[in-house]
Amino acid sequence: MCGITGWIDWNRDLSGERQTLEGMNQQLVCHGPDGEGIWQSRQAGLCHRQLLGTDPEGVSQPMVRRFGNRHLVITFHGRLFDTGDLYRELKSRGYPVHSPSGPELVLAAYAEWGDAAPEHLDGIFAFAIWDETEQSLFMARDRFGIKPLFYTERAGGFLFASKLKALLAHPGVAPEVDGEGLAEVLVMGPSRTPGHGVFKGIKELLPGYALRANRSGIHRHPYWRLESRTHADDLETTIQRVRELFMDAVRHQMESDVPVGAMLSGGLDSSAISACAAEILHQEGKGPLPTFSLDYVGNDRYFRPNEFQPHADAPWVSRMVDRIGSRHHEVLIDTPDLVTALEDAVKARDLPGMADVDSSMILFCREIKKQAMVVLSGECADEVFGGYPWFHRRELVDADTFPWARLTDQRIRFLSPEVIQQIRPLEYVRDRYQEALAGVSRLPGEDPEEARIREIFHLNLTRWMPTLVDRLDRMSMAAGLEVRVPFCDHRLVEYIWNVPWSMKRSEGREKGLLRKAMAGILPEDVLWRKKSPFPKTHHPVYLKQVVERALGILDEGTSPVLDLLDLDAWRRFADQDLKGIHFPWFGQLMNVPQWFAYLIQLDQWMKEYRVIIK
């Protein structure tokens, strides 16, 4: 796990641009604090930051290899799983691969299959390969975009990086944000339209896409996408197949040169991963499995059940620890630390994000890092199997917008009239929603109810899930921790995509199919426990502190964010009894406290990144 960046220019000599490349690479230190590498030629500069520990071989990058007359250079970020088969196949084809390391295997795969190479890769990755002979660049990103990759085009040139800040470190890239970028931050945020880099001229390589850049231009193409087809298996066969695919995914993602742990909340998803991982270690004569849970100081006193969080996690964590015999570590976060870490979360994401949902994750990962280098997470099960309320509640299923962001009209009242006129927020959201629906892989003749649920799954996998995996990757990488997500195994997702909704909601329950597949692996009470999302603090001091800080920004009167806001609307909102207000402005966890925290993050982002509104 590392960070990558680079600069290609076909019209100028980059041999003397070492200082600029070093400046870009320096922005990736948090992703790779243990070493750096820069490779240069007249037309290209590729950079890499290294994180040791998860790769004891310490493979040096950028890596250079010659295949016949071809001179290839790679900078690679991520992890390949189940590399044995790929290693053996490439060896059998005569490629001199010395080890099953990610960058070496990818280079050899590219030499063999060219632009089709990503189809042969299983993992979480973003990489760039420069062909010095052909003077062309090839980039690719994993199927679900777990690893980020941004780029921008310049006259005769091309820049890429795994962090926005690395691109902004180039003197030719200004931190400008136009109306479209403002709409992304102020209305779509903390989600982001796929392909959008927020800053003017910066784009994101889409998940499952590859890109080729050369003197004649840039060509992007998908190498993977979900395809709709009729599901032929009966329920019992489907349950068995899901169980096999899931356990295989966990087994593959546990392959590591260092011990692997698991995040454990006591919910269905993390418990399933932890139970399978513990069993795999037991079969291999290893163990116990290190597990990690998160809670907050004061939650034992202040937790109150609600429609999204029906019960606290702690008793369920203990239930699972006793069941699988893991070596457990509880991480307790205090409110002042949670507020302070809001700033760290912005630096990690390069954008305002999910407020304390982000800052708690970065604090959680820092504590895990003291005990482990690699952990598994239950992220993405809800998107794959249908766990969220908007899969099950009629008014949410039928909502003619993104179901997790139904309150756009209420968010608008906090924006200045000038900004509303510029970005036309309702139109912008409507256009992005229709754009998303246009990408659904349809099944001809499908029942209208099944077709609508397929749309909801598509929205979740392509619009909601990227926000969560981006959060998980950015916060964990900022802590130097590698987190893997077995529920994002593409073979598992491909299979589940075409399973009828009646099977997915077996027993009339959210993720009913997953529950049936985990029967016998999990205790019955854990197996059928009602879904509870990522834990958050219920301490009233958190709301008090973020409101005070947000009002301080308004009262100080110097922040550039003030030009974007209706200050009176914010003050009127803050003057109410906020403990009695329900304002779920984004998903299940983003409510009143997170609204004020988002303002804090927006203020910090505009100041620290010196954002210029165009």
The helix-helix angle for 356-369 and 465-478 (nearest 10°) equals 40
φ, ψ of residue 363 to 5 degrees: the values are -70, -40
Closest to 47 in 3D by CA, of 14, 96, 13: 14
DSSP output for 601-612: HHHHHHHHTT-E
**DSSP-derived 3-state class of residue 282:** helix
Task: With both helix axes pointing from N to C terminus, report the angle between 268-283 and 235-253 in degrees, rounded to the nearest 10.
Answer: 70
Q: Which residue has the tokens 């180039």?
A: 170
Burial class for 54, CB neighbours closer than 10 Å (0-12, 13-18, 19+): middle
Q: How far is CA 287 from CA 261, 274, 283, 324, in A?
A: 10, 12, 9, 10
- In angstroms, how far is the first alpha carbon of the chain from the final one? 35
Q: Which two tokens stand for residue 259?
A: 């011990």
Between CA 373 and CA 479 the distance in angstroms is 10
Pull the structure tokens for residue 233: 């298996």
Nearest-angstrom CA–CA distance, 48 and 103:
12
Q: Which residues have a catalytic role annotated?
A: 2
Quickly tell me which residue has 């006793």 as its tokens.
322
Angle of helix 425-438 versus helix 448-459 axis, rounded to 10: 110
Report yes or no: 167 and 173 within 8 Å, Cβ to Cβ: yes
Residue 8 DSSP SS3 = strand
- Tokens standing for 54? 């998860």
Scanning 325-447, the segments in alpha helix (DSSP H) are 335-349, 356-369, 381-385, 394-397, 408-412, 417-423, 425-438
